[in-house]
Amino acid sequence: MDTAGNTANDHKVIVITGAGAGIGRVTARRLLGDGHSVVLAGRRRESLAETADGSPGATVAEADVTSAESVRALFGLVRERFGRVDVLFNNAGVFGPAASVDEVGDEDWREVLDTNVTGSLNCAREAARMMKEQEPRGGRIINNGSVSAHAPRPSSVAYTVSKHAVSGLTASMNLDLRGYGIACTQIDVGNAATAMTAGFGANARQADGSVRPEPTIDAVHVADTIAHIVSLPTDVNVPTVTVMAREMPFAGRG
């Protein structure tokens, strides 16, 4: 048993944002299969219900991460139903349209930063407040970063800036929350095959200006990695982890 009173394989209450599709959906189904109670958060109830697929462990909760009020309501529901939260997977995010710094529009910039950065902060803030107050105290927050936090794709200024900000958020959280039994992770994913990344498998723009296909991996491997981190006691931290297609041109992208 760890300092927060959690065993490695116990039942946990887990909140996943962006749970209606992609990595969020695959991860939710994996964690539901492991026997956890999973709160599926997102903007479209129909998509969330598809993720739940009738699982008795799933709770569907409509929420807009860009709205602090909506996020407070989400964690109010979690508090009322479960009395605690053990894990937050801060997964909601958008790419935004391809644009360089001189091309990005005002609305596109705001949408990406509001969703990827402010949304992550809104959810982490409410989760951390609950984790600090609950008994036993503590928990785990996993932020979905990106390999773009380390090496950008061409014409991705808004997305790249947002993921650098997520790196700063995760580092600050680890420093500020470690004394409260809260472990924080950034998972950087490269070319997991989802609807959001569908173009990479066929026509990804490269740093030299060419366009060519890139290898992808099944998102289940990302879910497996998250499930392992969730299974760890909270006195074990994984500050950063990268899961990517072996032959994607990440190392030499720049």
pLDDT, tens only, 136-192: 999 999 999 998 888 888 888 999 999 999 999 999 999 999 999 999 999 999 888
pLDDT at position 108 is 96
Given pLDDT bands bounded at 50, 70 and 90, which one contains residue 222?
A: very high
Q: Is the pLDDT of residue 37 over 80?
A: yes
Alpha-carbon span 71 to 216, nearest angstrom: 32
pLDDT at position 248 is 81
Encode burial over 140-149: b for 16+ CB neighbours within 10 A, e otherwise: bbbbbbbbbb
The chain-wide mean pLDDT, for the chain, equals 91
pLDDT at position 198 is 58
Alpha-carbon span 167 to 170, nearest angstrom: 5
Three-class SS state of 93: coil
pLDDT at position 254 is 43
| Active centre residues (catalytic) | 159
Structure tokens at 226: 């998250």
Q: Which of the two residues, 122 and 251, has the higher pLDDT score? A: 122
Helices (H), the chain: 22-33, 45-52, 68-82, 106-113, 119-133, 157-177, 200-203, 220-231
17: enclosing H helix or E strand: strand 13-17
pLDDT digits (tens, 9 = 90+) for 93-133: 998 988 999 999 999 999 999 999 999 999 999 999 999 99
Residue that the structure tokens 């006691």 belong to:
233
Q: How far is CA 234 from CA 106, 107, 253, in A?
A: 40, 39, 35
Q: Is the pLDDT of residue 238 over 90?
A: yes
